Chains A and B, each alone.
Chain A
């Protein structure tokens, strides 16, 4: 395990060095992403300045959801390039190369690239988090900080899991699946607003199937220490981020299943 971790860190260091060969391109991509996501938030801002509140959620409360989800997504996105490009990897036969190396394919794909340019979204999300926290005058006790970290890590697990599921489907079909993009990018869009504004079937889907609510909505409600309009108890809000880990574990199980399918069909 520690050996795998050490190897992964090595992969990451090399990937950063490779990207630094194209320094200008890296800075431009990061800046572009920062600005792109910033306009997204500007849109939310415009909406609130026109309409005031959203079902009794203020702008800066919503900004907290926004920050958590975007930071989590940026982390997952930066670490999952290998899965993101997996369709291409399979199509060109490069997956065979990974199979003849004495390491798990998940580790090798996770090590493919640390997409440093994603730092743009990460910074933007973190900035929104900071401003929101200052405006709400949140007191960062150790417990609150831990819950925030759990929410972000749990969120990164869910998004990473979605990328893994997306990649796994490439074992069966080479068509790129727009449906999966609806889940990942649509998931970001959905989870940056409080869950309580959505209809019940939608809420259920994002709680039990793709548990984005468990890593964004519930822990942030706990951080805000406000009553949940959906009536969830405080203790549940605190342990909800664990659902992200469970989701990731299930995705990896699905990956293993896909890999077995690949080795038995060779396509």
Chain B
């Protein structure tokens, strides 16, 4: 049975229109004009236990609205939503004790308290029995290497240290489902990798279902087998990373390291970028095969090295949005 079922979810917001100028501001005090914005316009998906799903989209696409509905913070206008057998916003208190939520930009730890005190308090808030709490806390502390941080007040931690503590804090009650909202935002490279490794291990060894929203496409490529892309309140694609790449009409990249700095052109390929002797070309494998293109180019130019790649995932997604824009 699916752990998360979302069917035809619709959510609209009423936004107050601001009129320009002083006159407008005064009129706005008396009577406000409202405009309805459809944040979610019929969203459907299902997520099975143990999946690690990337949920991506530009700002304002409906990403955080979805997460807020799934975590019981918002009530949708219509549609069905069931998580862990609960309707999240009904019976909120019982439901949320089974989920973990990390908001990357806002800590859930108590600013002035040592980390360990926040953990203790959270275990009381989540009603975790002392024995179970000690076990899960010790495990998280050792896996995230938190031992040296436990007695430090949260306000003195670096962003990366704080994120590791926040991850632990959201998992003390051992939820089977974890929502991660931009967990890597603002982190340095080392912390990013540590967080990524931890999430992967959590998913693989503990079988925790993870829903990850992020702007960082490296996170997605490193972690997610499945990616859901949302734009303007509807799901644009839902599938594996490879499916997502295939959606962009099979575009591939050929990267050449030339011996000499010279112009490169071909009727079936387009130069995307060049820096010094390195040239990156875009081509459609349906029009020209990689071997054909390579033999043509190596015949005309002296090539030191070359390789063929898929386009970076950012560009794949940017392309999806652009297609969506054209259709709109």
Q: Interface on A for B, CB 8 Å cutoff?
A: 3, 6-7, 10-11, 14, 17-18, 21, 92-94, 96-97, 99-104, 108, 263-267
Contact = CB atoms under 8 A, between A and B. Distances in A.
B92 interface: yes
Contacts of A99: 71-73, 92, 96
A18 B112 contact: yes
A100 B99 contact: yes
Given A17-B113, A102-B93, A10 B124 contact: yes
A21 B112 CA distance: 8
A108 B108 CA distance: 13
Contacts of A103: 93, 125
A11 B106 contact: no
Interface string B79-121: 0000000000100111011010101001010101100010001
A264 B12 CA distance: 10
Interface string B48-75: 0000000000000000010010011111
B127 A3 contact: yes
26 contacts: A3-B127, A7-B124, A10-B124, A11-B121, A14-B110, A17-B117, A93-B106, A96-B68, A96-B103, A97-B103, A97-B108, A99-B73, A100-B71, A100-B73, A100-B96, A101-B125, A102-B127, A103-B93, A104-B93, A263-B73, A263-B89, A264-B74, A266-B13, A266-B73, A266-B74, A267-B13
A96 B113 CA distance: 21
A265 B113 contact: no
Contacts of A265: 13-14
Contacts of A108: 125
B307 interface: no
Contacts of A94: 106
Nearest to A102: B97
A99 to B, nearest CB: 5
Contacts of B73: 96, 99-100, 263, 266
B126 interface: yes
B110 A18 contact: yes
Interface of B: 11, 13-14, 65, 68, 71-75, 89, 92-94, 96-97, 99, 101, 103, 106, 108, 110, 112-113, 117, 121, 124-127, 153
A93 B121 CA distance: 21
Contacts of B112: 18, 21
A17 B222 CA distance: 42
B68 A266 contact: yes
Nearest to A92: B106
Contacts of B121: 10-11, 14
Given A96-B103, A266-B13, A18 B113 contact: yes
Contact of B94 (A17, A92, A102): A102
Contacts of A11: 121
Contacts of A10: 121, 124
Contacts of A7: 124-125
Contact of A14 (B93, B99, B113): B113
Contacts of B11: 266
A6 B121 CA distance: 11
Contacts of B72: 99-100
Contacts of A97: 103, 106, 108
A109 B33 CA distance: 33
Contact of A100 (B75, B101, B124, B153): B101
A94 B110 CA distance: 12
A101 B96 CA distance: 6
Nearest to B12: A265
A19 to B, nearest CB: 8
Nearest to A21: B112
A267 B99 CA distance: 23
8 tightest Cβ-Cβ pairs between the two chains A and B: A102-B97, A18-B112, A100-B101, A99-B73, A102-B93, A264-B75, A266-B74, A102-B96
A18 B93 CA distance: 27
A101 B124 CA distance: 11
B117 A14 contact: yes
A15 to B, nearest CB: 9
A174 to B, nearest CB: 12
A264 B68 CA distance: 11
Given A14-B110, A17-B117, A102-B96, 18 more contacts: A7-B124, A14-B121, A17-B113, A21-B112, A93-B103, A94-B106, A96-B73, A99-B72, A100-B71, A102-B127, A263-B74, A263-B75, A265-B14, A266-B11, A266-B65, A266-B73, A266-B74, A267-B13
A109 to B, nearest CB: 13
Contacts of A100: 71-73, 96, 99, 101
